[in-house]
Amino acid sequence: MSAACPRRKPIALTMGDAAGIGPEIIAKLFEAGLPWPAVVYGDAGVMQEQIERLGWQSKLKIHACNEVSQARLQPDGIDVVNRWQALPAKLPLGKVHALAGQGAYEYLCQAIDDTLAGETRAIVTAPLNKAAMQAGGITFPGHTEILAERTGTRDYAMMLVNDELRVILVTIHEALSRVPGLITSALELRTIRLAHEACRLLGIASPRVAVAGLNPHAGEDGKFGHEEQEAISPAIALARNEGIDASGPWPGDTLFMRARQGEFDIVVAQYHDQGLIPIKYLGLDQGVNTTVGLPFVRTSVDHGTAYDIAGLGVADPSSLRAAFELALLLDRRAD
């Protein structure tokens, strides 16, 4: 990272669950050098313990602060912003802990508020753990819903990106039994529009948006379900009338391979696993999760807290670095 420059708004990095690998991959990101200044929203004590665990006390210095304005933004330091309570020393790693879950929520909320206030330019999130959040009294199912609620965003979607695929979801964290009832033409059209705009921000001038069917064989003319006829196809037609190059509904069992081979720029998937399994099958190292539709750029790693390897020093920061670099790209294009 280059020398400190107070005029450059930093990126907000949220620590996520302190009992997982978030602190480790953040430390590794800083140690390798950043292309832009960043501040960490998290616990300074936890980050200090992580630095010591890696043996990097002489390389990186932790600087605790309450506000972004207090950050030093030095290349050999990690500024940690926290307006919540300090976590207990030597917090057990690799286990669900209520305070770690609540902390992950509090750090995210602080980052959201500061980014809305213009103190930071974008948010990059390390993983949180839903069970830990619930133990801490937080009922949100994940990052996306917290971000949408706290920013007052109604039209949003989760998009996953790697070197071979781009996938955006119509429904996110919903029980599979509820998904058919949630599929409406309005929701489909909203997601197609978000897919189109996301691709344009990524530098694709004329995005080709492919929409997956919900049912096997995309319903096969109503033999296996009517959602394609009643909701998905009408939304595609409306999108095309708006000038969006949308097509489908296509059978989900072949669509992702067609997109991977270059026929389409982005796939609109109907539910969580339909979209995430193809992305994650290709590998978690370079995958990035981004929330489309927010008033600022937010990206995230495409993996969880990895409790099984927390504290071992073997966590791979590649997805976090990819998320950081994508946040910079999207934010610059949004400007």
Flag whether pLDDT at 225 surpasses 50.
yes
Number of domains in the chain: 2
pLDDT digits (tens, 9 = 90+) for 279-291: 888 876 677 999 9
Do 173 and 144 sit in the same domain of this protein? no
235 in any annotated domain: yes
Do 323 and 263 sit in the same domain of this protein? no
Flag whether pLDDT at 334 surpasses 70.
no
Do 119 and 205 sit in the same domain of this protein? no
Flag whether pLDDT at 1 surpasses 60.
no
Do 37 and 112 sit in the same domain of this protein? yes
Please report, rounded to a whole number, the percentage of residues in the chain having pLDDT higher than 90. Answer: 87
4 in any annotated domain: no
286 in any annotated domain: no
Residue 211: what pLDDT?
98
Cβ atoms of residues 276 and 167 within 8 Å: yes
For residue 171, what is the domain's CATH number? 3.40.718.10
289 in any annotated domain: no
Residue 284: what pLDDT?
62
Do 40 and 109 sit in the same domain of this protein? yes
- Boundaries of domain holding 132: 11-153+294-334
5 in any annotated domain: no
Do 213 and 115 sit in the same domain of this protein? no
pLDDT digits (tens, 9 = 90+) for 69-121: 999 999 999 999 999 999 999 899 999 999 999 999 999 999 999 999 999 99
pLDDT digits (tens, 9 = 90+) for 3-25: 444 457 999 999 999 999 999 99
117 in any annotated domain: yes
Do 22 and 130 sit in the same domain of this protein? yes
Flag whether pLDDT at 34 surpasses 90.
yes
Q: Please, which residues bridge with residue 268 across strands?
A: 168, 211
Cβ atoms of residues 161 and 259 within 8 Å: no
Q: How far is CA 206 from the centre of its chain?
A: 24
What are the angstrom distances between the C-alpha of 240 and each of 64, 174, 247?
Answer: 51, 28, 8
How does the average pLDDT of the chain come out, rounded?
93
> 169, 131, 162: which is closest to 305 by C-alpha?
131
Residue 333: what pLDDT?
61
Do 178 and 84 sit in the same domain of this protein? no
Mean pLDDT of the 299-326 span = 94
Q: How far is CA 157 from the centre of its chain?
A: 11
Residue 86: what pLDDT?
96
